[in-house]
Structure 1
Amino acid sequence: MSTSTAAPVAGPTTPEDPAERIGALRDAIDACDAEIIELVRRRVAISHEIGALRAADGGTRLSLSREQQVLSRFRTALGPDGAALGMVLLRQGRGRL
């Protein structure tokens, strides 16, 4: 019976400078933030369109049951702070009550 052992994966020959790694990670956060900002802008535009359609159809400005669904989804995914984030997003889309 033949046994084969794989060679260990070689790491970098010199450790990465922590300041360089922090800089790279901060660049990654900045890229995430840019995506989040763009998604929030899209979400706000969609929410405004829904509000305009509801108003044009004689409906109320907001749907409390829908808002509860959104908050529940954020709370489930992200915990208590997730619900707070969800509320911020709802306010962005509909304004303060």
Structure 2
Amino acid sequence: MTATIPTAPAADERIAELREEIDTCDAEIIRLVQRRLAVSQQIGELRQSTGGTRLSLSREQQVLSRFQAELGRDGATLGMMLLRQGRGRL
């Protein structure tokens, strides 16, 4: 059985379709990050309003562990970036 090689126009069309799918994913990721930041801010405000600290290092470690388990070392980096954004100014 021989594989058929797509023609250049067909490959270009498929690449364009896949790029549209990536753009859709990116838009969803951005929306979810914005939602996550808003929720994180609410948690920080609630913790502070009840006399607690704004940050929970044990919770942050749970988040980093989950990201690393699912996405590897780069996942931990992504998780840390999200945590930093959610903290706001320290």
How far the C-alpha of 1:61 sits from its partner, in A, is 1.2
Q: Which runs of 5+ in 1 are unaligned?
A: 1-13
Q: CA separation in 1, counterparts of 2:60 and 2:52?
A: 15
User: Which of structures 1 and 2 has the bigger CA Rg?
Assistant: 1
- What does residue range 16-55 of structure 1 map to in structure 2 within 5 Å? 17-55=10-48
1:93 aligns with 2:83: no
35, 50, 60: which one pairs with 2:53? 60
Which of 49, 73, 77 is 1:80 aligned to?
73
**What is the Cα-based RMSD across aligned positions, in Å?**
1.5
* Cα deviations by residue, 1:58-81 (Å, 9 ceiling, x for unpaired): 101100000000000000000000
- Number of residues paired by the alignment? 84
Gaps of 5+ in 2: 1-5
Identity of aligned residues (%): 68
What whole-Å deviation, never above 9, does each CA across 1:43-96 have from its counterpart, x for those lacking one?
A: 000000000000100101100000000000000000000000000110111136
Cα distance in 2 between the residues matched to 1:95 and 1:53: 15
Q: SS of the residue aligned with 2:41? A: helix
Q: 4+ residue runs of structure 1 moved beyond 2 angstroms?
A: none
Report the structure, 1 or 2, having the larger helix content.
Answer: 2
TM score, norm. by length of structure 1? 0.81
Q: Give TM-score, length-normalised by structure 2.
A: 0.88
